[in-house]
Chains A and B, each alone.
Chain A
Amino acid sequence: MRRSLPVAELARDGRFEQASIMDRLTDPRAAVNVRKASAGTRRPALRAGQPGAPDAARSLMHGIFTGEIQALEGAGRTCWDFELGTGERQVPFALKLDMARQCWDEARHVEISVKLGEWMGTEIGEFAESTILYEAACNDDPILRLTGVNRALEGLAIDIFNTMREFGQATGDPVLEFCEDWMLADEVTHVKMGSDWLRRLTAHDPDRRDRALEFQKVVDKLFSYGGIRGDDDDSPVRLARRFRELAGFDTAEIDEIADLSRQAGRERAERVAARGRPPAVRSADVHPIGADLHSERMAR
């Protein structure tokens, strides 16, 4: 069995299509949303009173589903990829046991996510899959893997699952609320495993710990999705402070994640502003038999 499986070789059937996260972050149409946000009119997509909230929840749930598949794949790789030992590219047996336990949890989450997708009327593969989670699990330093995946990405999972749990509560959806609460408990455990192993394996190597935390910051900032995950009232995905504390984050760390998110949001707004205004309006007139039908393209 090979070690370090590249992301291009992940096993997927024809229902799945992969999309680059950079495609979405550099979408020129994002200019409209960011300008609205700057004008103070951004409204979070996942608030029960918003007309588009059910579809936003469906899309997010599908993202959770593909994320769980990759989390399973990532934990499985971390369980296998490293030799036993005390070297920098080696891990203790107890860490492999924790990764095996995480595989068990993630496999269950995949099953739950499939059922939730059915509940919400979403087909497997209905939305594109971003492989960034698995890519973060490809680092050949086990400590960077754990900080990138277990602390940064599973930390994001805590925020997202809490947001979905609250959405389920607000809409009176007993299935969504229960399932998200169930998975949230596991994610707290996964993050705590990452925090604990980071501390244990770098107890006598502060430089390595600093490199790992720096890598975590990079992943945290990338996964604020240009400021979508944040600590502000209008953040579509809110930082789940209390659950992060249970998972081993201290207040300073959580505050830093919030700051990184605001920074990511500002940088995204600056990139968009630098692109300038959308192109001029073009229109196309079509005259079908029996009716006058015009299709116009317009940019507001």
Chain B
Amino acid sequence: MVDFDAGTVTTIAERLFGEVGLPPAVAVTVAIDEATPMARAQIESIDPAVIGVEGGALENPKRIRQLSEARVVDVLGLLFHQLRDRLDPTFGAPPVGDELPLPHKVAWEVYAAGRVAALGYQAQRQRRLYHFRNRHGFTDAADAAFERLWTGRDLTWSEVAGLSDQAAAQATVTS
């Protein structure tokens, strides 16, 4: 249904695996659902480590059903960082699945994407800022929290969630 080359995905994933610093003993399965144009991507399980990706997340937005290497980096880079976080006992234990509130999820994505950017990859900072503002308000407080998450290193889950909560508390949304 799509023209995705498993070899290209694997090559990028191998490189990111090393750059992110995942433990060498960890075996990671990247399961790509090519039958859907939707774009959900998440860590399905920790042990064994499984990342589930809907094909639309890796698709070239200019060429339908073609692979985008930039998107592979964006998706796997972010999720590998989050997997490393989950495997690190000093990080803490974020909730899983639907128990993870959306603002916290987005804040954690910012923290992960910022580290992808620090590796030298194009990580679409403004896009991540727009996502963050959507969940935490279009305020100076939200922008400041975003900056701390984007540039943060060795943060704990408690710190990530705390920054999210502080930013969201300043939001005023009219509906």
Contact B127 A290 (CB under 8 A): no
Question: Which of A69-77, A164-172, A192-200 touches B?
Answer: A164-172
Contact A29 B134 (CB under 8 A): no
- A290, B10: Cα distance in complex, Å: 13
**Does A173 count as interface, using CB distance less than 8 angstroms?**
yes
Question: Which of B27-35, B88-96, B154-162 touches A?
Answer: B27-35
Collect the chain B residues with CB atoms within 8 Å of residue A295's CB: 6, 9-10, 13, 30-32
Contact B130 A169 (CB under 8 A): no
CB proximity to B under 8 Å, residues A104-155: 118-122, 125-128
Minimum CB–CB distance from A283 to chain B (whole Å) comes to: 9
Q: Which residue of B lies closest to A119 (CB)?
A: B130
- A118, B130: Cα distance in complex, Å: 10
Minimum CB–CB distance from B69 to chain A (whole Å) comes to: 14
**Does B86 count as interface, using CB distance less than 8 angstroms?**
no
Question: Which of A19-27, A89-97, A214-222, A223-231 touches B?
Answer: A19-27
Question: Which of A51-59, A235-243, A260-268 touches B?
Answer: A51-59
Minimum CB–CB distance from B3 to chain A (whole Å) comes to: 12
- A31, B29: Cα distance in complex, Å: 26
Q: Which residue of A lies closest to B11 (CB)?
A: A288
**Residues of chain B at the chain A interface (Cβ within 8 Å):** 1-2, 4, 6-7, 9-10, 13-14, 17-18, 22, 24, 26-40, 55-56, 61-65, 102, 105, 124-131, 133-134, 137-138, 171-175
A-B contacts, 28 of them at CB < 8 A, read A19-B63, A23-B64, A30-B37, A32-B35, A51-B102, A55-B127, A121-B129, A121-B130, A126-B61, A128-B62, A170-B173, A170-B175, A171-B138, A172-B171, A286-B10, A288-B14, A288-B17, A289-B14, A290-B18, A291-B22, A291-B26, A293-B28, A293-B29, A295-B9, A296-B29, A297-B4, A297-B33, A299-B34
Q: A24-B64, A296-B30 are in contact. List 7 more A-B contacts (CB 8 A).
A: A29-B37, A29-B56, A33-B37, A171-B173, A291-B24, A292-B27, A292-B28
**Residues of chain A at the chain B interface (Cβ within 8 Å):** 17, 19, 23-24, 27-33, 48-49, 51-55, 58-59, 118-122, 125-128, 169-175, 278-279, 284, 286, 288-300
